[in-house]
Amino acid sequence: MDSIPAETNHAILLEQIMMIGKRMKMCVVAEGVERADQLTYLQDQGCDKIQGYLYSKPLAAKDMEQLLARWESSGVAAACMEP
């Protein structure tokens, strides 16, 4: 995801992949999102779900439970679950 949205050819490929997923009525998930500009670009393109270091580094199960509990109490979890 490093060059998205800056690299035009990569952006075109990404848009086509998302279009294929949508036409197949699949949930489109982007992984490896590390920057806010990538998040904005993917949201603008209609990506359903996003994961990556922007939200959290990989965590142990107990740490993940704590992160989700914090997100739930802050309202972030509900926002992340919406398509």
pLDDT computed for residue 4 by the predictor: 67
What is the model's pTM? Answer: 0.69
Q: What is the pLDDT of residue 24?
A: 95
pLDDT on residue 68: 85
Around 45, how many Cα atoms within 13 Å sit in the side-chain half-sphere?
Answer: 26
Whole-angstrom distance, CA of residue 83 vs CA of residue 43: 9
**What is the chain's pLDDT, residue by residue, as a tens digit (83 residues)?**
566 666 678 888 888 999 999 999 999 999 999 999 999 999 998 999 999 998 888 889 989 889 888 888 886 655 555 44
CA angle 11, 23, 8 (to 5 degrees): 10
